[in-house]
Amino acid sequence: MSGKALRIGVDIGGTFTDVTVMDTSDGSVTFGKSLSTPDDLVRGILDAIAVTGRPPRDAEFIIHGSTVAINAILERKGAKTALVTTQGFRDVYEIGRVNRPDSFNLAFRKHVPLIPRALRFEVAERMLYDGSVEKPLDEADARGVAQAIKAQNVEAVAVLFLHSYVNVAHEQRMVELLREALPDAFITASHHVSREQREYERTSTVAANAYVGPRVSTYLERLERHLASDGFNGNLLIMQSSGGLCDVATAREQCIQMLESGPAGGVVASQAVSGVMGLDNVICFDMGGTTAKACVLQAGAAALSSDYFIGGYNEGLAIRIPVLDIKEIGTGGGSIASVDEAGGLHVGPESAGASPGPAAYGNGGTLPTVTDAHLLLGHLAAERFLGGRMALDVAAATRAVAEHIATPLGLDVPLAAGGIVAIATAAMANAVRAVTTERGLDPRDFALIAYGGAGPLHAVDVARELAIRTVVIPQAPGTFSAYGMLTADLRREYAQTYRAPLTDEGLRGTTEFFITLETEASAWLRSAGVPSEHTLLEHAIDVRYVGQNYSVTIPLAPGSAQAAVKSAFDAAHQLRYSHNAPEEPAEIIAARVSIVGRLSKPVLAGLADGNGIPGANALIGKRRVRFDPRTEIEAQVYDRQHLLGGDSFDGPAIVQEDGSATVIPPNVRVDVQSSGHMILTVDQ
């Protein structure tokens, strides 16, 4: 092996930390998986890398995605944070958009700000929408506010001044004054994270960036330090919610970009797999230990959204960053099953996590989870979990399901376990509907790529729920998101509010904005210090019908004529909202530039060709399995490591591998591809 031939992808989940190591000298891949360590995430990373036996010091790149940012917000365990804003706009953050999507829901509650009102401060200043100064920054007032914040012993400060997306001067000066008064605090301004209009969304975004900033930046510094002590001197790159990579210095400043970094890795990997297999329309289905995620690829690409709501649109916090359009629900392998006072069975969103974990883990957990249910139905082998490195406790799982589910409902244990799995499957099918049927897309027109440790366990049931005929189980699905990080490119999005009619003249006016954004983007790519094989600049504009509130992002080729852009916008609006108005005038709202620094892509090694029938070393036995909890039948058990290209077989079967297991009920055909991926054809 050459000295710096390794690339390591690391994905921290709520239950497991996954690692994929690629040796670029020969294309070999090593996978590692170990329980996450919530008390010390860095230790969990080092433990998972150690499982692979490949030391960090031999790596050229370590690419990392983490749930640390999103968890800090969901658990409300971020920093004590203050907000500084324009005089008279202190309550914008709390008022929000006054949305009431569910008008008759008596239990409805508004979003809960991360920063309490007592820690929101106003400063006398005012910019106008065109960047001109109506009221200069009152430095005496600003200094007084900085001292008042200092007296509150805050850890972070967010700065949001009105219309600073056009003129950043007042924000920049306020940041300087805050850094003088609070040299150890994390200080961030709205123009650091968003240069687009809408003061509430910008306020919410910069507040969240400050709220997670100390925790994320400290975590990244510790990770850098520990890797360096192990001899790593390569490039540490961070996966962003957009599906691109950035350098660690950028991630420490724009921590909020890491919100969906783990799920984004799976979507990027799905793009690579769909390209290899010639699939244009794909549903990405990711089920881990804590959550399940769904995303759609059309023509091999995922949609980017500029608005994201932590906790959902109805009651969530608005975040304005580029993020892959992923729907996430709180159902995973570790989701806890419970019975309510009315005798209703529920699964999630509470998770047993990594510690104590499901009852079957034997770490002190006593509550039943989805993983426990699969074990009792025969879908998991107690002695082969994580390749045999971790034995599952069948007796503990039985006690948990019997005590908390079966006995209260008057059911036998297998039927109770089947109910847990069925409810989890229904929840995941709804997540897929949220990115398909709710947006005018027919799931039957898509193939389903299932991954994550628990994804292959539910893949066929989810497909049948949605009448999907083709399911793909990629190589090493249990560490698929970590692999995706190795296939990503350096990428950063730049946007600037630009208001103009959608006319030829209005389009020509974008030129100046694009030049400015390109200059900034190119400077960032150079500063990242990561050699890339090819640089690509992508232009886009946000367009809306005149009188509308929200826009659609349209790719823009240089020299595009108004008629072509308007036609593209009408088509995109129809696709997204199922209606359009071609006769209505439109306007440009923002200009966008994406810079992509292409990195060489690892290629998974293919399989040797077989004779169409799994060999004796692949068929490792039979066991009694319940696909229907009322009936136990005998299923063939295959070791995926020994399946060859061209092998085919029918269900009922279980395919076992390190990190996951694929459940193949009757009337499902399995074809193993030479690429190493499995295609399941589901008889509806």
**Residue 414 pLDDT more than 90?**
yes
Joined together, the tokens standing for residue 554 give: 């349209």
> Within 10 A of 383 (CB to CB), how many other CB atoms are there?
10
In tens, the pLDDT along 47-94 reads 889 888 888 888 888 999 887 888 788 778 899 999 999 999 999 999
The whole-number pLDDT of residue 585 equals: 95
pLDDT band at 304 (very low <50, low <70, confident <90, very high): confident
Q: 131 or 144: which carries more pLDDT confidence?
A: 144
Predicted local distance difference test score (pLDDT) of residue 2: 42
User: How far is Cα 502 from Cα 589, in angstroms, rounded to an integer?
Assistant: 9
| Chain segment 251-286, per-residue pLDDT in tens | 999 999 998 888 899 999 999 999 999 998 999 999
Per-residue pLDDT tens over the stretch 141-159: 999 999 999 999 999 999 9
The topology (CATH level 3) of 489-598 is Dna Ligase; domain 1 (3.30.1490)
pLDDT at 302: 86
Prior bond to 183 cis, omega within 30? no
Query: Which residues of 36-79 form beta strands (DSSP E)?
Result: 59-65
* Model confidence pLDDT, tens digit, residues 228-249: 998 898 889 999 998 999 989 8
The rounded distance, in Å, linking the Cα atoms of 199 and 96 is 9
Looking at 27-31, 210-214, 374-378, which range is the least confident one? 27-31
Element (H, E) at 516: helix 510-528
pLDDT tens for 267-276 read 999 999 999 9
Q: How far apart are CA 580 and CA 651, in angstroms?
A: 46
- Rounded to whole angstroms, the Cα distance separating 671 from 443 reads 22
Question: Which residues of the chain are in CATH 3.30.1490 domains?
Answer: 489-598
Provide the pLDDT confidence category of residue 4 given band limits of 50, 70 and 90.
Answer: low
- Over 80: is that where the pLDDT of 99 sits? no
Average pLDDT estimate for 219-225: 92
Dmax (CA) of the chain: 81
Phi-psi region of 676 (alpha: psi -120 to 50; beta: other; left: phi over 0): left
The ranges of the chain annotated as CATH 3.30.420.40 are: 6-72+217-255
Fold of 6-72+217-255: Nucleotidyltransferase; domain 5 (3.30.420)
